[in-house]
Structure 1
């Protein structure tokens, strides 16, 4: 199920994004990128609609995924 990021408390959203960035990491090549910048990148993707927050009822977990990878059954 997709959870609109606008419906999530800002502090909670920040924590979800931070946990995602720390868990998943991101590939910035040889560049050393601060966590704060990675968090801002994810926020921008959520605002642009290229990434979405998905809640799994089966596993009771939250994840951030590219919108293109979310199947219609997740919506």
Structure 2
């Protein structure tokens, strides 16, 4: 299920984005980005609707996924 980021309290939104960034082990290329830069980049993706917050009722988890990577089965 997709959760609109606009419906989250601002502190909850900030904490969620930071939590997702901290658990990702992504390589950002030649130069490493700061935590603040990674958080801001992810927020921009959410605000531009390129990424969405996904809640899995089955697994009781919350994640942020790129919209283009979602299949219809992964958001139900």
TM-score by length of 2: 0.90
**Equivalences for residues 1-75 of structure 1 within 5 A:** 1-73=1-73, 74=75
45-54 or 22-31, larger mean C-alpha shift: 22-31
- Residues in 2 aligned to 1:6 and 1:27: alpha-carbon distance in whole angstroms: 28
47-56 or 17-26, larger mean C-alpha shift: 17-26
What is the root-mean-square deviation in Å for CA atoms of aligned residues? 1.2
> What SS does structure 2 have at the residue aligned with 1:55?
strand
1:27-52: CA deviation from partner (whole Å, max 9, x where unpaired):
22121211011000000000111100
Equivalent residue pairs, number: 75
Cα deviation for residue 59 of structure 1 reads 0.8
Cα deviation for residue 26 of structure 1 reads 3.0
Q: 4+ runs of 1 displaced by more than 3 Å?
A: none
- Residues in 2 aligned to 1:38 and 1:31: alpha-carbon distance in whole angstroms: 12
Show structure 2 runs of 5+ residues with no match: none
TM-score by length of 1: 0.91
